[in-house]
Amino acid sequence: MESPFNNEYFMKKALQEAELAFEKGEVPVGAIIVINNKIIARAHNLTETLNDVTAHAEMQAYTSASDSLGGKYLRDCTLYVTLEPCQMCAGASYWTQISNIVFGAIDPQRGFQNNQTKLHPKTKVTGGILEKECSAIINKFFIEKRNLN
C-alpha cells in the first residue's frame, strides 16, 4: 500500500500556507518542514506584515523547525516550499544542513539554481512538485497587483 505521505501531499500543505499569505496581501509563498512524515513547521511570507525583507516563508519555517527540534540543525528534515528558494533562503538552508528541499514552481529570476547558490553537499533537491498549482497562485497574485495599480 502506498503511503499517503508523499511529496504531493506535503506540497498541498505548503500551498495552504501560500493561500494564507495571499489573503494577507503577501507574496503567496508557503513552506512546511517535515521530519518522519510529521509537520514540525508551517510558515508563509511575512515580509509586508513584519516590514522585514528577510521574512520569507523558508526563513520563518527554519526558525520554527529549529524551535520545535530544540536545535539549529535540520538534518533528516525536508523543506517543502511552493516557490524555488532565493539565494538568501538557499544560503540559510546550507547552515541548517537540511536534508531535502522540495519546491513547486521554478523562479528563473531569483531562484537559487539560476544564481548558482551552493547548498549543503548532503542536501537533495526535487523541483516541479505541483508546479502548475504553485505557479497559479503566484501568477494570480501579481495579476491582481497589476490590476490595482
Which residue is catalytic, options 58, 131, 133, 144?
58
> 113 has which bridge partners?
none
| Per-residue CA distances from 1 to 4, 15, 26, 34, 57 (Å) | 9, 26, 39, 21, 33
Beta-carbon contacts of residue 44 (< 8 Å; ≥ 6 apart): 17, 18, 20, 21, 24, 26, 28, 29, 30, 31, 57, 60
Q: Determine whether 58 is an active site residue.
A: yes
Active site residues: 58
